[in-house]
A and B are shown apart, each in its own frame.
Chain A
């Protein structure tokens, strides 16, 4: 009788373990999944993981943290609250960022993609290393409003995190360096380089006549700032938007304290632009045609307005439509549906 009982227990334990294994396999990360592959034609990354060796366990920990509202003061807001996977980790259809208690920020949420090719982070470039970027949303009173020290305190109370940190770092230390480095492993691997544009360049896809014309126009009018293949030159520019006095955002000037940098913002990448609406640093335009309309006819000329912007000149209806058709080829479905980046809590 006793033996039968033991067999039954072992049997049920096996079933439970198996079911766990099955669940885990949906979100499993292999060594191959975390290989850093530099896409053809991309430059050498600026963030090189030299002091942050990627491991499946580190990536899994970073992913868990990214999707966990425990990082905010009232456990209401996680990184993904504003950085949604389907929107290339931007905030779909939200003009300005939202924080805890319904607070609203002063800037549009940027996409998270190809982060390791950036020399600075944030629209004003105030952050000099990818690892320390998350400290801003985590601690900003109008975003997640939590202190790093208290996040570490909370994580130490959770058995699940104690185990995850141990798996990733092989000892029991839980600190902010490891928290931030794990997040960097997760976000640093968010690489988008498989759009139709990329496939067209490598001869694996074809463009319509309209898309080809759009690419040509893009190269003539837009690539001064939005340089291929990253579709940004990492510079700061004033793109001629009339300053919004209710936001009083002087952009780069706030960081450098140089007057000539006022109203300049980091040139954003245009990859996945179809999904990252609304547009501009303050999210003032909902549609790409509004953006094209701005560059064609509503540029405000002031002291720091960029020359590359002022020389675009008027664009015809056809030209605008062609450019938009091309911009839509920058949508990277493989990246947007990449199973490695899916919320691990999703069954």
Chain B
């Protein structure tokens, strides 16, 4: 009787603790690591040292670059989806943060990946949080509650801000100032996730895209975006900065 109790408890515990994913019909689960590689057009991103040029030929250096990735979906050709409920803060300064790992992915052939650059509206309203969403990470606006989705800071002699700095702090989850952007990347070679194996994916992130197309950013005119005003201009620029490396 006692043994049966343990067994029941064990089964219950399994159901309570095993992560639930939509359409997870397969019992075998695999893992996927995604590495984000930061560069500026043809050059590697080096904080404070390398000089880059924007579309107006204005030279600049980058001192800080970080952003949130969340709501990652992996999709199979038949529409079956895997959803990660984790939040990742990618920070150029912290090598470790640039490699994220998704676990418990059902076995299958995945043909696309999509994710949010930023934090969904629910988690902008959920109060005090920890981990990637801990308010001490410096990616949070206290006076007008909300997460900063992406931060790019640096220097350019063309900037008229004190110390020639430029700073783009992009956030805002409420319309009309909604800067949440979703990225959808198709996988030319389907990604086969198999039992107990960790697949690897590399995503290239072109920082230069933050400052161009559709709106070319002129440091003399817009060197500071630190609230929701104008944030969506920059968000529209960077939504296409990700490419999958083959």
Q: Which A residues form the contact surface with B (CB < 8 A)?
A: 51-52, 122, 126-132, 135-136, 139, 147-149, 152, 175-181, 184, 254-255, 257
Contacts and interface: CB of A to CB of B under 8 A. Distances in A.
A329 B9 CA distance: 57
Contacts of B130: 175-177
A177 B128 contact: yes
Contacts of B101: none
A100 to B, nearest CB: 17
A139 B143 CA distance: 10
B194 to A, nearest CB: 36
Interface string B132-144: 0011100010111
A181 to B, nearest CB: 5
A224 to B, nearest CB: 27
* Chain B interface main SS type: loop
Interface stretch (B16-24, B56-64, B119-127): B119-127
Given A149-B136, A257-B177, A132 B127 contact: yes
Contacts of B124: 128
Nearest to B134: A176
Nearest to A128: B145
* Chain A interface main SS type: helix
A132 B145 contact: yes
Given A176-B136, A257-B228, A135 B126 contact: no
A147 B134 CA distance: 13
A140 to B, nearest CB: 8
Interface of B: 124-130, 134-136, 140, 142-146, 177, 228-229
B135 A129 contact: no
A53 B186 CA distance: 43
Given A139-B142, A255-B144, A257-B177, A131 B136 contact: no
B142 A135 contact: yes
A4 B130 CA distance: 54
A312 to B, nearest CB: 31
Given A176-B135, A257-B229, A136 B126 contact: no
Contacts of B136: 147-149, 152, 175-176
Contacts of B228: 257
A126 B177 CA distance: 14
15 contacts: A122-B143, A128-B124, A129-B127, A132-B128, A135-B142, A148-B135, A152-B136, A176-B128, A176-B130, A176-B134, A177-B130, A177-B135, A178-B128, A181-B128, A184-B128
A110 to B, nearest CB: 15
Contacts, number: 67
Which 10 pairs, one residue from A and one from B, show the smallest C-beta to C-beta distance? A131-B127, A180-B128, A135-B142, A129-B127, A177-B130, A131-B128, A149-B136, A128-B145, A126-B144, A177-B128
A257 B172 CA distance: 12
A77 to B, nearest CB: 17
A256 to B, nearest CB: 9
B127 A127 contact: no
Contacts of A181: 127-128
Nearest to A151: B136
Nearest to B125: A128
A176 B142 CA distance: 13
A327 B33 CA distance: 63
Given A136-B142, A175-B130, 7 more contacts: A126-B144, A126-B145, A128-B145, A128-B146, A147-B136, A180-B128, A257-B228
A297 B115 CA distance: 57
Contacts of B144: 126-127, 254-255
B157 to A, nearest CB: 28
Contact of A51 (B126, B134, B145): B126
